[in-house]
Amino acid sequence: MSLQVNKVTIAGNLTRDPQVRFLANENAVAQLGVATNRRWKDKDGNLKEEATFVDCEAWGRTAELIGQHFTKGSAIYLEGRLKLDSWEKDGQKHYKLKVIVDEVKFVESKRDGAPAATGSSAGTTADASSSNEPKPAPRPAGNTAAGHDEPPF
């Protein structure tokens, strides 16, 4: 048996407000983007920086908490696993690698002055660990947290 590990840890800032939708069975799904920055000095001592943008998806209570407590620019700490989605459009195969979030932690206070649970866990692996996630379907009108179209897969 070979060793196989699929574990991701990301700390960064949200690139947009999380988009939370609800499935027909009332289970929540959140789509979010996280930016991380890497800084280093090159061989000449010049400071360099690169940003990496990561698409993430959270399910269940974890998705709801992300939608309630995080907005664009919020610092966030996520743990999860990589998942590769694929679909065909106009005869071409497309791929998208994303992080399925198992756990989220607060790393700063809320901006509106109300304290957040700094350093405490806001999610568990129970809602997000299924390998057979259903494709999101919007909740009936009036109940959708974000009115965005479905992804192409």
CATH number at residue 21: 2.40.50.140
Residue 95 lies in a domain: yes
Bridge pairing between strands 47-59 and 92-106: parallel
Residue 66 lies in a domain: yes
Which stretches of the chain score pLDDT less than 70? 109-153
Residue 92 lies in a domain: yes
Q: Are 37 and 11 in contact (CB under 8 A)?
A: no
Residue 129 lies in a domain: no
6 CB burial (10 A radius; 0-12, 13-18, 19+): exposed
- In 3D, which of 22, 27, 39 has the Cα closest to residue 127? 27
pLDDT recorded at residue 106: 86
Residue 123 lies in a domain: no
- In 3D, which of 14, 10, 6, 31 has the Cα closest to residue 103? 10
Beta bridge pairs of residue 54 = 34
Residue 17 lies in a domain: yes
Torsion of CA 106, 109, 114, 119, to 10 degrees: 40
pLDDT recorded at residue 150: 42
Rg (CA), the chain: 17
Residue 134 lies in a domain: no
Q: Tell me the residue type at 130.
A: S
Q: How many domains does the chain have?
A: 1
* pTM, 2 dp: 0.68
Q: Over the stretch 13-56, which tens digit does the pLDDT of each residue have?
A: 999 999 999 999 989 999 999 999 999 999 999 999 999 999 99
Residue 143 lies in a domain: no
What is the largest distance, in Å, between two alpha-carbon atoms of the chain?
Answer: 58
pLDDT recorded at residue 108: 73
Domain carrying residue 55: 8-106
